[in-house]
Amino acid sequence: MTDTVSSWRKVLDSGDTQKRYAQFVRERNDRINAFLEFDPGRSAAGEKGTDSTLAGLPFGVKDNIAVEGFRLSCGSRILEGLVSPYSATAVRRLQSAGARVVGKTNLDEFGMGSSTETSSFGYTKNPWDLTRVSGGSSGGSAAAVAAGLVPFAIGSDTGGSIRQPAAFCGVYGLKPTYGSVSRYGLVAYASSLEVIGVVARTVDMTERAFNAMRGSDTMDQTSMDAAEYDGAGFGDAGPIRKGEVSRIGVIGGDLGLSPGVASAYALSIERLRKRGYEIVEISLPMLEYVVPVYYTIATAEASANLARFNGIRYGLRPDYAENPDELVRIARDRGFGDEVKLRVLLGTYVLRSGFQDQYYLRAQKIRTAVRNELAAAYREVDLILMPAFPTNAFKAGGAAAGESALDPFQQKVADRFTSTANLAGLPALSFPVSIEEGVPAGMQFMAPPFSEEKLFLAGREMEEEFPAPEPPDFPARWR
C-alpha cells in the first residue's frame, strides 16, 4: 500500500511526469469515457496540505460536485459549459489535506440512473468488459478508479449511486451516514437522501478520504459531527464496545439474485464464518416497500430541486423564444434528457394537491417504518450484509442488448438493497467478493448511524480474503 501511494504522489511532482500521467489517463479514458474533463495541471499548484495520508494524491470528482474553475454539467445539456465559481466543502477539505483534483467524472444526468447511460455526454464503459455498463450514477468515478486513472474519486450516493458502480467495477464504495459529510456544493437531486462519498481501490484509501471530508459545516445545516448525534432511535443499537464487530446479520429466503451474485453472497457468508463472525439470519419485511417509497420521495424532491434550471440565469438557452414561458419550456425540453423529465413529472404528480396524502406523506410514514425496523435489527447484530445489486454489471443498451441487459424499469426495481441505507440515513460500504462470469461481484455492509469504523473493520477483513482485482486490460496502478 505504501509503495502504491508513493507512486501516485509522483504523478504531479514535475512537468515531465505530469505530462506522462496525462497521456496515460487520456489514452485509457478514450476507451471508457470515465472523465468528462481532465486537466491535472489546473489544480496541482498552490495546494499545500499537511495531511501526509493524502498529500499529493490526485483524485476525480463527480460532475455534480462543484470544483472552482472546472465545469459543473451534472451530465446534462442544460448545464453544458457552466464553470463553477466555487468548490464544495468536501472538495476543499480534501485539498486542504493535500489531495489534488485532476478532473470531473461522468454520471447519469443529475444522478438519475443506474448505468451512466443517461449522461448527455456518452455512457461510461466498464473497464472489465467494454460492452457492459460501469453502473450509476457515479459510474465515471468507479470506472476511473478501477482503470487506474486515480487512486480514489468522490461521488454522490442517493440510492446506491456509489456502492452499485463500485461493485460493478470491483472497487470499494462508501456511502457515509447522512449528515456526516457536508453537501454544500453538491447539486441537489433528492436532498433528504443524498450524501457525498468515496470510491477507492482499498479500504485504507476509502477511510483516509472519508476522514478528510467528514464533519459539520456551517454551509450545510444538515451536517453534524458524530459527537453531536443523539441516537434518534438507534442509540442502543450495535455492540456495547465501540467499533467492535462480532455479529453479522444476513437476509434469508429468495432474494431474486442472479446465479453469480447469489454465489458471491454465499461466499461472503462463508468467509465471515471462517473469520469468526457469528452469522445471524434476520428478517426485513419492509424491504419489499423500499423501491416505491424511495422513488416517491426522490422524484418529489427532484421536481422541486430541478425547478431552478430554466435557461435564464445560466446553462442552455434557446436562440429565440416568444416570451419567458416559452424560453423556459424550450430550454427544459432540449436540455433535460428523458429520464430526468420522467422523474420530474412523477415528482410533480405525487406532490399535487389531493395526491400528497395518498403518495408522498404515506411514503414518508413507510420510510419511518423502514428506519424503525432497521433500528430493531441493530439491537441484535452489529452489521448487516446485503447484495449491492441483484446482478453483476449488465450489458449496455437496455432491452436492445438482449437478456443480459436491464431496461430502466428493471434497474429501478433492483435498487432495493442500496436504497434502504439512503432511506434510513445509514452508512454502507460495498466491497468486491469474487469474479463471476468475467466481471466483479460485490456485496455491501450496512451499519448503524456514525458507525463507519465498523464498516472499515469488517471491510479490511474481507479485503484480506479478496483484494480489489485488476481488470485484465487496465492494470490499476500508475507505474
Q: What letter would DSSP give residue 77?
A: G
Contacts of 445 (CB under 8 A, 6+ apart): 248, 383, 384, 385, 428, 429, 431, 454, 455, 458, 459
Choice among 43, 62, 84, 258 that is catalytic: 62
Q: What letter would DSSP give residue 186?
A: B
Closest CA to 454 of 179, 271, 246, 274: 246
How is the chain split into domains, by residue range?
A: 1-479
Pick the CATH number of 1-479 from 3.90.1300.10, 3.30.360.10, 2.20.28.10, 3.30.1130.10: 3.90.1300.10
Choice among 115, 161, 216, 223 that is catalytic: 161
Choice among 76, 84, 137, 419 that is catalytic: 137
CA distance 303 to 143: 29
Contacts of 57 (CB under 8 A, 6+ apart): 5, 8, 9, 98, 99, 100, 151, 152
To the query of whether residue 137 is one of the catalytic residues in this protein, the response is yes
In one-letter notation, the amino acid at residue 275 is R
| Strands in 22-95 per DSSP E | 35-38, 58-62
The alpha carbon torsion through 219, 222, 227, 232 (nearest 10 deg) reads 170
In order along its 479 residues, the chain shows pLDDT tens digits of 555 788 898 888 888 999 999 999 999 999 999 999 999 988 654 455 566 789 999 999 999 999 999 999 999 999 999 999 999 999 999 999 999 999 999 999 999 999 999 999 999 999 999 999 999 999 999 999 999 999 999 999 999 999 999 999 999 999 999 999 999 999 999 999 999 999 999 999 999 999 999 999 999 999 999 888 877 667 555 443 455 899 999 998 899 999 999 999 999 999 999 999 999 999 999 999 999 999 999 999 999 999 999 999 888 999 899 999 999 999 999 999 999 999 999 999 999 978 888 999 999 999 999 999 999 999 999 999 999 999 999 999 864 544 556 888 889 989 999 999 999 999 999 999 999 999 999 999 999 999 999 999 999 999 999 999 999 988 766 66
* pTM beyond cutoff 0.75: yes
